[in-house]
């Protein structure tokens, strides 16, 4: 990496809190499409879509057009005052969803959208117990963090009471050392029974990503989801689907839950809805909204229903359909996965390749027989990729191994995928010499 970038990072650390470990040794001056650039014009191919948000690529022309015209419209309003962009986005979002999901609220982050869903679930059920998956990540605010079972829990005191956990269906590493590469739902059945034993009889909700990203890119298969929903219904648990990363085409559907034969009670959206802008949404049923309203539901933040960001949500659906990006995610995702499997055949350190659409995982191990995770090698490969011109994201947490989360923009080209795979291949070779 260029010395000028290194010096700027060192200077930045004098005034910035290190909120994600160490900062990358790259200062981004601008971004466009599938690339980010430093001030000297060095290009980095972005296989993470920023923070998995720039699903339509960086600085999409339609977004730039909105930015240029933003001075003619309201940017921010009192939370109780609505704007045409917020009203139109609520109508558009409701029209995209099953009839039961028809009530929306617009916020800024995934943490907030999950916070709203959790609060409403507790209010409408009268319960307070919320179940999440091992390794999950639903946000950093108090309620969302309490049902996040990633590496963010230690050192901050007790979580909110009623936070319960079930094991993720991690086929490559069965959480109960039972399956041999194919989940038979035993972990789900055992997990729910264990929650029942801990429960005080005050269940409210279960929250899940259709593809558990931070937990190691673990896909919840249709038959698993069907059984999960049945177990929730038996217990009076409302189902929250957190589609921060999986919505707006990334898994080949507008919303990932459309691949299942169920509809959640709450749908939370963030990252991809704003395409890089701070926009999130929570959608629920008319019945739940009415019951919560009668009980005095309140959720007011400084930027709820901001008109400026809502405009980008409207544009997101236009881009998704005009450019047929959901179909593109399936086609290019299949192609990318095939190339990653070829790398797996070449490199012993790649233990598993998994995921769907353009949301894929590559797990780095010391030994395929023992499946011992190799955190050091994974991080070295990640760093070497950046030096060679590829931005990658790796999950490093005890018990989940070293897992690359690969989520390039849906607008990426086949040529750019080939370039990314070539760089990854070179980085692996350089790091295992």
Catalytic residues: 137, 209, 242, 245, 271, 405
C-alpha–C-alpha distance, residues 318 and 123, integer Å: 35
Edge-to-edge strands of the sheet including 280-285? Answer: 101-107, 280-285, 266-269, 238-242, 203-208, 129-133, 163-166
C-alpha–C-alpha distance, residues 77 and 85, integer Å: 12
C-alpha–C-alpha distance, residues 105 and 83, integer Å: 13
**What is the phi/psi pair of residue 44, to 5°?**
-120, 120
- Find the helix or strand (DSSP H, E) in which 198 lies: helix 186-198
C-alpha–C-alpha distance, residues 106 and 303, integer Å: 9
- Residues 52, 58, 61, 66: is their CA dihedral positive or negative? positive
Could you tell me whether strands 129-133 and 101-107 are parallel, antiparallel, or unpaired per DSSP bridges?
unpaired
Q: Which are the contacts of 89, defined by CB distance < 8 A and separation ≥ 6?
A: 104, 106, 281, 310, 311, 313, 314
Q: Beta-carbon neighbour count of residue 382 at 10 Å?
A: 22
**E strands, 79-215, where?**
101-107, 129-133, 163-166, 203-208, 211-212
Q: How many helices (H) and strands (E) does the chain have?
A: 14, 18
C-alpha–C-alpha distance, residues 284 and 408, integer Å: 29
What percent of the chain is helix, strand and coil (3-state, nearest 5)?
A: 40, 20, 40
Whether residue 185 contacts residue 227, with contact meaning beta carbons closer than 8 Å, is answered with: yes
Query: Coil, strand, or helix at residue 285?
Result: strand
Q: Beta-carbon neighbour count of residue 375 at 10 Å?
A: 17
Q: Which residue has the tokens 């971004």?
A: 31
**Counting beta carbons within 10 angstroms of the beta carbon of residue 128, is it exposed (0 to 12), middle (13 to 18) or buried (19 or more)?**
middle
Whether residue 130 contacts residue 163, with contact meaning beta carbons closer than 8 Å, is answered with: yes
């Amino acid at each position: 990496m260029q010395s000028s970038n290194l010096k700027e990072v060192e200077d930045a650390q004098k005034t910035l809190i290190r909120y994600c470990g160490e900062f990358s040794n790259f200062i981004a001056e601008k971004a466009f499409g599938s690339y980010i650039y430093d001030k000297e014009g060095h290009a980095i191919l972005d296989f993470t879509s920023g923070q998995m948000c720039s699903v339509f690529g960086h600085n999409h022309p339609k977004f730039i057009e909105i930015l240029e015209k933003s001075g003619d419209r309201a940017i921010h309003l009192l939370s109780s005052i609505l704007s045409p962009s917020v009203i139109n986005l609520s109508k558009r979002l409701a029209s995209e969803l099953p009839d039961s999901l028809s009530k929306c609220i617009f916020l800024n982050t995934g943490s907030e959208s999950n916070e709203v869903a959790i609060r409403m679930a507790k209010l409408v059920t009268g319960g307070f117990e919320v179940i999440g998956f091992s390794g999950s990540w639903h946000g950093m605010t108090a309620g969302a963090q309490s049902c996040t079972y990633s590496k963010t829990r230690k050192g901050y005191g007790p979580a909110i009471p009623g936070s319960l956990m079930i094991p993720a269906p991690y086929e490559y590493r069965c959480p109960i050392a039972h399956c041999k590469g194919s989940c038979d739902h035993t972990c789900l059945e055992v997990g729910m029974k264990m929650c029942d034993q801990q429960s005080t009889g005050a269940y409210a909700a279960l929250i899940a990503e259709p593809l558990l990203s931070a937990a190691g890119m673990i896909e919840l298969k249709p038959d698993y989801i069907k059984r999960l929903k049945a177990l929730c219904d038996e217990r009076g648990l409302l189902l929250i689907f957190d589609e921060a990363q999986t919505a707006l085409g990334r898994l080949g559907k507008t919303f990932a839950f459309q691949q299942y034969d169920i509809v959640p009670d709450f749908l939370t959206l963030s990252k991809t809805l704003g395409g890089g802008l701070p926009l999130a949404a929570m959608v629920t049923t008319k019945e739940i909204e009415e019951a919560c309203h009668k009980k005095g539901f309140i959720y007011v933040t400084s930027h709820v229903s901001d008109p400026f960001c809502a405009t980008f949500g409207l544009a997101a659906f236009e881009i998704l359909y005009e450019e047929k990006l959901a179909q593109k995610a399936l086609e290019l995702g299949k192609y990318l996965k095939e190339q990653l499997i070829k790398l797996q055949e070449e490199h012993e350190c790649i233990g598993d390749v998994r995921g769907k659409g353009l949301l894929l995982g590559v797990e780095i191990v010391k030994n395929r027989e023992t499946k011992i995770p190799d955190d050091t090698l994974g991080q070295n490969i990640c760093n070497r990729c950046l030096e060679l011109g590829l931005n990658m994201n790796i999950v490093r947490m005890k018990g989940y191994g070293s897992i690359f989360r690969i989520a390039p923009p849906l607008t990426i080209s086949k040529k750019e995928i080939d370039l990314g795979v070539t760089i990854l291949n070179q980085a692996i070779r350089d790091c295992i010499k």
